[in-house]
Structure 1
Amino acid sequence: MSMTAKDKRANFRKLHQSGCFVLPNPFDVGSAKALQHLGFKAIASTSAGFAWTIGKADNRVSVDEVCAHLAALAAAVEIPVNADFEGGFADEPDGVAANVARGVKTGLAGLSIEDSTGDKARPLYERRLAIARIKAARQAIDADNSGVLLTGRCEAYLWGQPDLKLVIDRLQAYADAGADCLYAPGIKTREDISAIVKAVHPKPVNLLVGASGLSLREAEDLGVRRISVGGSLARSAWAGFMKAAREMAEQGTFTELSAGYPGGELNKMFG
């Protein structure tokens, strides 16, 4: 019996109640199904990974493209899908709310809203506006009692502002504004991770492990509830592709093709 969106959302919330789980990031339907096959309990989209599959740079996709991608992921698997919803594809709260409402309709179980503007001159939205954007996302999610889990992201570390005090202040404000989970991609040290976990307790914290290098057990010991890997799986896939393609283009040889995953095994998994 297929899981309904309501079932997936309930399961996703349960995963955040105790322990720590890995929330890997597929970049297309095939990789999503593969992660389900491997036993992961939930998955999350990656803005960069998806953008590369359609030949675009990260943060250059439209809300239409993202919503179609999310709908395809959600329909393809029986596990919850969390969305990297970037900055909500709008600056003002009303626009964020309208786009989040569209995202909810794709069947996803959770989504994140970040506070980066994409402008190096002013990389983060002004604090009051950033909070209003989270509130707008919360209201859009609650409008139809969807139960979608909202993650509030502070992007300061990724934009060259490793100010722990600022990050904690914003994450606490996002929690007060309705975020169910908090996330500060780019934090690396045990001290910073522990400080954030304690500051937003009892709300769960997502950790980007591609930056921290911690194991699942180590992250759990610090109080982290979930781990995501961003575009790392997509980059790993592209690494193999580019290595083999470069060899063909530059040397006219094909030895790297022997490192490919067995086609028979892939057919079994997808069969």
Structure 2
Amino acid sequence: MSHAAAFRALHHGRVPDDPLVLPGPWDAASARVFAAAGFPALATPSAGVAASLGYEDGRTPADEMFAAVARIVRAVDVPVSADVEGGYSLAPKELVERLLEAGVVGCNLEDSTREGLKDPAEHAEWLAGVREEAGDRLFLNARIDTFVRGVEDPGAAIERAAAYVAAGADCVYPIAAPVAVLPLLRAGIQGPLNVIARPGEGPSPAELGGLGATRITFGPGLQRQAEQAVREHAERLATRPGR
């Protein structure tokens, strides 16, 4: 079985309190740590990778993002999916080629830009083009940005999800959806549902699974948690006499 097929299979047949948990490595070293801990697959966060490269979230040049993702893929033996934001304005054919060259088995593709939400029909058409070019070689996770853009009606997310699934998305990701609406989203969305978890805060992955999540990712949360640990250690070292 190919890595892509194995990754796709991980999203199906799961019981409610056992969602697929995908840590988000930001470099090769963190990827090795997560793989060694026994996670069956990983999912890079664009914001975490950006921080590791010295960029603000959303400001990483495409070439640097793909190169960083490729280093992560080379460092581990488990499947890796990549957050490639909005696709860096690449046509579907080139985007798929770049993803496959990096060695990933899937990707996140978001439906907003700095100017706001994309037209859902136009975005669905673009996703369909990505699916056509990728065939079954990539797992497409369609991020839905309604909640982060201030659209609180879950119906808007459900409508976008239906369009994206019809276009060929394997999974949808209504990022920052309030926990209270997860059962409603689960009832209205076909196929796997990605939910973000906050490390050390809020419901556990198992609890989110019970509310309808198929898979759990952490955005840049793990990278920021690691950065905070380094910061605290550095501050302790800096205050020692005779340093």
Q: After TM superposition, is the score higher than 0.5?
A: yes
TM-score by length of 1: 0.81
4+ residue stretches of structure 1 with deviation over 6 A?
none
1:208 is aligned, of 192, 196, 219, to 196
Query: Cα deviation per residue 1:199-258 (whole Å; 9 max; x = unaligned)?
Result: 122x1011101298222222222232110001001101111222344456xxx4149xxx
Separation of aligned partners in 2, 1:189 and 1:97: 36
Task: Check whether the contact 2:172–2:192 (CA below 8 A) recurs between aligned residues.
Answer: yes
The one-letter amino acid paired with 2:51 is W
Alignment of 1:1-271 (within 5 A): 7-19=2-14, 20-90=19-89, 95-119=91-115, 123-142=116-135, 145-146=136-137, 148-190=138-180, 192-201=181-190, 203-210=191-198, 213-246=202-235, 252-254=238-240
Task: Check whether the contact 1:98–1:140 (CA below 8 A) recurs between aligned residues.
Answer: no
Separation of aligned partners in 1, 2:95 and 2:6: 24
Deviates more, 1:94-103 or 1:132-141: 94-103
Residue 267 of structure 1 corresponds to none
CA shift, 1:74, in A, is: 1.3
Higher RCO structure (Cα 8 Å, ≥6 apart): 2
| Structure of higher CA gyration radius | 1
TM-score by length of 2: 0.90
Higher helix share: 1
Task: Check whether the contact 2:120–2:163 (CA below 8 A) recurs between aligned residues.
Answer: no
Query: Cα deviation per residue 1:164-205 (whole Å; 9 max; x = unaligned)?
Result: 111110011000000001111101223x1112222122x101
**Taking structure 1 as reference, are residues 254 and 198 closer, same or farther at Cα in structure 2, changes over 3 Å only?**
farther
Counting aligned pairs with the same residue, the percent is 32
Separation of aligned partners in 1, 2:92 and 2:213: 28
C-alpha RMSD of matched pairs (Å): 2.0
Deviates more, 1:216-225 or 1:78-87: 216-225
Task: Check whether the contact 1:206–1:226 (CA below 8 A) recurs between aligned residues.
Answer: yes
CA shift, 1:76, in A, is: 1.1
Corresponding residue SS for 1:210: coil
The one-letter amino acid paired with 1:110 is G
The one-letter amino acid paired with 1:239 is Q
The one-letter amino acid paired with 1:214 is P
Query: Cα deviation per residue 1:140-159 (whole Å; 9 max; x = unaligned)?
Result: 212xx52x111111111112
The one-letter amino acid paired with 2:118 is Y
Paired residues in the alignment total: 237
Task: Check whether the contact 2:96–2:134 (CA below 8 A) recurs between aligned residues.
Answer: yes
CA shift, 1:163, in A, is: 2.3
Deviates more, 1:132-141 or 1:96-105: 96-105
